[in-house]
Chains A and B, each alone.
Chain A
């Protein structure tokens, strides 16, 4: 008997050398045997699924895999005896096909992931921290691609293919007054003229309830896609956060394993470039020296009062500048409203708003950093403050912009009332004038030329245009900054160095560094703007996809050609989820304005898919009334009853409270177990046995211990038999969840933005350059020695 398992009789028809009853057809296996066999087969299947996680030699794995597969194949047939045989065999076959399909799909999916080589190159030159920005960029690109597909496929395409063409109705035509300038480059750059009356913006879409042969309900689709964008993004962000939470590695204190971690996790195995490796050696050495000094020295007593005063002063200054920038934006938006009424605008005046916003985003962070010098914090804490302030800056700017925009919207809504009357009046006049020359009163007048109809001030399109202009100017400013701040600087430093008095490369200005945090924040906020504007300008998502695509290539080139590996930057936070959490926050903040406008502002009367309705979500009501069967309408009206909603909300609150308290209980239990473990392991010096490390041939008996391995460690323990457990003492140590089963393609994980301490060894043309004594001036988010 192999592995101590009873060999059961072979299926009917095959020759058998086992004892007795080979000719009987009924199951001569007792229930117990059947159950045990089933268990064995399940166990083997589990082994096959998790075999890649075992720390065995490859040869052993291959042999065991083959054995397990043979066993499963042989006995799965046997189990199918009796009544359910055909069904069981069918089930087995379908499972096999499904596994094969999954594997092919995984292969295909991994092959589709773009830019692997590029990222690897960046990684080997700059380490994992800089590369994590590009991995995040790639993830964003994937998400935007899906959003673009949704918008394009369900909103833009139907309108283009099945809706009315350009020029047929007033909302789709450039008004007569603007027609001769509609093709001008400057007008198009402002997204007026032909751009404004195109599928890019909200105003183009018709409010016909169904269009085309297929009776495609465009207004409903528009609303659903708008909301679905948020839903999909939310789901994706949360799913990625959950995935990263496992990887995070949890809850050790910051100071608990300083030296041990430095020793074992500071070398970045991704480095493949000699110069980067040299930098890394230097930075690791410095980091050790610093920790040694910290260890040996006591903190000197400093003047606490002075420090506190300075910190308060710094916060005051920064709050002032935040307030100042908010006011500046408000002022500029007001000015742009005045400009809208004039016609003779210079280029600067037309784009003032967007320029100011982008410039603020560029100038303020270094300003904050300079002010933060006063505070004298530990670099890691200083970095957190800096990130918090930049976040507040962007948020404040965005929301001020939004409020100012709302003012504008309200003005437009008021205007609408008067224009509505004017256009109806004009229409009446037109018909009246027409019938006069012709005495035949039966002839119906041709409809008014669409270019002549007076259009309302479509506020949604105006909002969409603002967002698109903002995004475009943001792109321009980013690219220009890289071109000037990094490329031109690198060229100057490189070539002027030959004839300059001091060493440009080692001193000021030297080569730029890649600003990870600034870039990631920029990406996050850009996405926030897209989310806000996508409802009013369906073309915006497409523009963003193009932007991310070109960003990838452009920034990869820029970082390889013009940047050097970092001066000391500390970790922003322990877990990868810091920036994901930021993205989630921004998602919610950008959801709010959109939902507010959908719920409370009336749509324009003559443009967009909701024109003519009281509120935008009336489309849903209409669909429920007309398209769905009657009982669903009553069902929804019950569901919308406050008497039902309030208990549902209460239930959710209770569920959250319950989950919170159970998680606290688990944490307490974990702490208790850890303490016990430490006590026990101090008493019994547990030593792992040697056999499991040096196994060369497969040991078949080993396998039978597996089900028993599932001790207090639960799933985590089961994945690796590994070194034998001493007295069950440290089973609980690996908190991480089991990684059995399908491999994760970790490439869609967002940034491992853990930045280890490094000191720059300036890249130099000249050999053996001594390290500079003077501190080079800090750029955004570089930290100096305190």
Chain B
């Protein structure tokens, strides 16, 4: 395994390995992917931690995200400015949370953020409606959408405020047998 790479210092690579679920080779590969999204913008040499961000529009064109109906929300939840511009740190963070090895609790937190379209820390009816419409490409009638959102809130809402707080969401999602296998992106 090459010790000759000059993209990161060894300390940086060790730190990344401690902070994410990736191995050294995967981190270097991620950097390669990040670079090829915007070759003129992203420097090859990261040893002095340059501060560059790739805009949302370029990131959602990645083959892994291209077909995902929630791609915009995913990138936004991992970006610091909330607008979807990711630095390399955030890029790595995103794929680390979505990788196979991330634990259920961590994924649940980010899933909540992704589905929370208006970023108010609750999944209210509008959030659910938007989610449903994205999932079905708006093929359901408004009555059906209404019914489904009501049923969802009825099922998961524990504290009775007609919206889902993180507690409700987590309680519901940790029982879901499919959650870990579907909330997973392989990079």
Q: Which residues of A line the B interface, CB within 8 A?
A: 48, 51-55, 57-59, 61-62, 65-66, 103, 106-108, 110-111, 116, 119-120, 123-124, 128, 132, 247-252, 256-261, 263-274, 276-277, 281, 284-285, 288-289, 291-292, 295, 571, 574-575, 678, 681-682, 685-688, 690, 693, 696, 716, 719-720, 722-723, 726, 729-730, 733-736, 738-739, 743-747, 752, 754, 756
Contacts and interface: CB of A to CB of B under 8 A. Distances in A.
B105 A722 contact: yes
Contacts of B178: 261, 265-266, 752, 754, 756
Interface residues of B, number: 80
A733 B170 contact: yes
Describe B's contact surface by its main secondary structure: helix
Nearest to B66: A272
22 contacts: A51-B19, A52-B21, A53-B103, A53-B106, A65-B18, A103-B17, A124-B63, A249-B175, A260-B155, A261-B178, A263-B135, A263-B148, A264-B176, A266-B182, A274-B67, A289-B140, A292-B148, A295-B151, A720-B105, A733-B174, A734-B170, A754-B177
Nearest to B161: A685
Max chain A C-beta neighbours (<10 A), residue from B20, B89, B103, B173: B103
Given A682-B160, A744-B101, 13 more contacts: A55-B110, A256-B175, A260-B156, A267-B68, A288-B132, A681-B158, A681-B159, A722-B105, A722-B109, A734-B108, A736-B103, A736-B105, A739-B104
Interface of B: 1, 14-15, 17-21, 23-26, 63-64, 66-70, 80, 89-90, 92-93, 96, 98, 100-106, 108-111, 113, 115, 121, 128, 131-132, 135-137, 139-140, 144, 147-148, 151-152, 155-156, 158-161, 165-167, 169-186
A730 B185 contact: no
Nearest to A739: B103
Contact of A285 (B19, B64, B140, B183): B140
A285 B182 contact: no
A265 B105 contact: no
Contacts of A734: 104-105, 108, 170, 174
Contacts of A268: 182
A751 to B, nearest CB: 9
Contact of A273 (B14, B67, B105, B115): B67
A265 B155 contact: no
A475 B152 CA distance: 48
Contact of B67 (A108, A264, A277, A735): A277
B169 to A, nearest CB: 8
Given A263-B135, A265-B176, A281-B137, A65 B19 contact: yes
Contacts of B101: 743-746
Nearest to B101: A743
B63 A272 contact: yes
A273 B66 CA distance: 8
Given A258-B155, A719-B105, A265 B19 contact: no
A250 B172 CA distance: 12
Contact of B121 (A59, A289, A690): A690
A729 B168 CA distance: 12
Contact of A257 (B113, B156, B161): B156
Given A52-B21, A249-B180, A747 B100 contact: yes
Contacts of B1: 107-108, 111
Contacts of A284: 135-136
A54 B105 CA distance: 9
A288 to B, nearest CB: 6
Nearest to A119: B186
A258 B155 CA distance: 8
Contact of A686 (B20, B67, B165): B165
Contact of A269 (B115, B139, B185): B185
